[in-house]
Amino acid sequence: MHIHDNILGTIGNTPVVKINKFGPEHINLFVKIEAFNPMGSVKDRLALGIIEDAEKSGALQPGQTVVEATSGNTGIGLAMVCAQKGYPLVVTMAESFSVERRRLMRFLGAQVILTPAPLKGSGMVLKARELAEKHGWFQTRQFENESNADVHSRTTAPEILDAFEGLQLDYWVTGYGTGGTLKGVARVLKEKSPNTKIIVCEPELAGLLTGGIEQKRNDDGSPAESHPSFSPHPMQGWTPDFIPKLADDAIDADCADRILTVANSSALECSRNLAQQEGIFVGISAGGTFAAALEVAESAPEGSNILAMLPDTGERYLSTPLFESIEADMSEAEKEVAASTPSCQFES
């Protein structure tokens, strides 16, 4: 077994797993489970990539404070990387995102600055920019930083190609979030596996790519305003209220062969089904991506191989609608089971 010098060496090389109980019988459905990263999400990759690139370029100096706007997973990944490397971290985050995310970041030593929910993702991005400018902090700018896409070209894409060596990958399905995974993986697949169809999905209530409205930007590539097609949705981190520059780049480069929208209910249902029937514990955004993969499977040719990206773990969603039907106390059925033997009886 390999011994790593530190926790950062465990990032990446996440497994590709075959799905056995969903989809048409004539289709081969696979998932890449990014929850196997040390902090439980695909964003561990970008956190390490951005920080190490900034160290090499001199943009990040020893001991300098790092600041980023995040729905949680990037902040958690950055908190891990900054803790190991010794950088203070300040995260800005809309107060509407799940409380377990902010507690995880604080547990890892980061400071979490909450921004008003009505300002959505654009508000937390603006706050991070203001703090960076005022205090001279290093802003990681995950939504437009090319290091985000580059790390996926170096790691995620080769992992996918290696997994499907000798086996044609017909469809790759992903959400876009920051756009880093989409841009970084898609450009490699277009070159190395040109027959792979790239399917991009987004929330039905926040169809920004399908809305056909050009995103206005500041000179630095950051969003100038909230996108008018955005409505709140439970797929945290899957789509902010603007089209990230990295996602825009990928779409402009014709990296997406098809764009699908996913209903909230479908994302929630697929996340629960993966847990309860495949034993795969992932979040709502992963459920949304898997729902899109199932839609692709319905019309895919016989024998097609489909890979869906599953971005994070279900533990990020304990306080969200994903777990609203899961009780901490015993149900009546569980009480009946408990009462069927004499030990440890509970009063009714």
In the CATH hierarchy, which fold is given to the domain comprising 43-139?
Rossmann fold (3.40.50)
CATH topology agreement for domains 7-36+156-318 and 43-139: yes
User: Per-residue DSSP letters for 252-275?
Assistant: HTT--SEEEEE-HHHHHHHHHHII
Domain segments of the chain as ranges:
7-36+156-318, 43-139
Distance between the two ends of the chain, CA-based, in angstroms? 51
pLDDT for 98: 78
Identify the active-site residue in 71, 98, 266, 285: 285
Identify the active-site residue in 32, 41, 43, 304: 43
Q: How far is CA 165 from CA 17, 118, 161, 162, 331, in A?
A: 15, 47, 6, 5, 47
Characterize 165-193 residue by residue with b for buried, 16 or more Cβ atoms within 10 angstroms of its Cβ, and e for exposed.
eeeebbbbbbbbbbbbbbbbbbbbbbeeb
Please report, as a single letter, which amino acid is at residue 271.
Answer: S
Is 271 one of the annotated active-site residues of the chain? Answer: no
Which tokens hold the place of 85?
Answer: 């490397």
Report the DSSP pairing between strands 258-262 and 197-203. parallel
pLDDT per residue rounded down to tens, the chain (348 residues): 789 999 999 999 999 999 999 999 999 999 999 999 999 999 999 999 999 999 999 999 999 999 999 988 999 999 999 999 999 999 999 888 878 889 999 999 999 999 998 888 888 999 999 999 999 999 999 999 999 999 999 999 999 999 999 999 999 999 998 999 999 999 999 999 999 999 999 988 777 887 654 555 555 655 555 555 555 555 555 666 788 899 999 999 899 999 999 998 999 999 999 999 999 999 999 999 999 999 999 999 999 999 999 999 998 888 888 888 888 888 889 888 888 888 776 665
Is 43 one of the annotated active-site residues of the chain? Answer: yes
Tell whether domain 7-36+156-318 is in CATH 3.40.50.1100. Answer: yes
Per-residue pLDDT tens over the stretch 264-290: 899 999 999 999 999 999 999 999 999
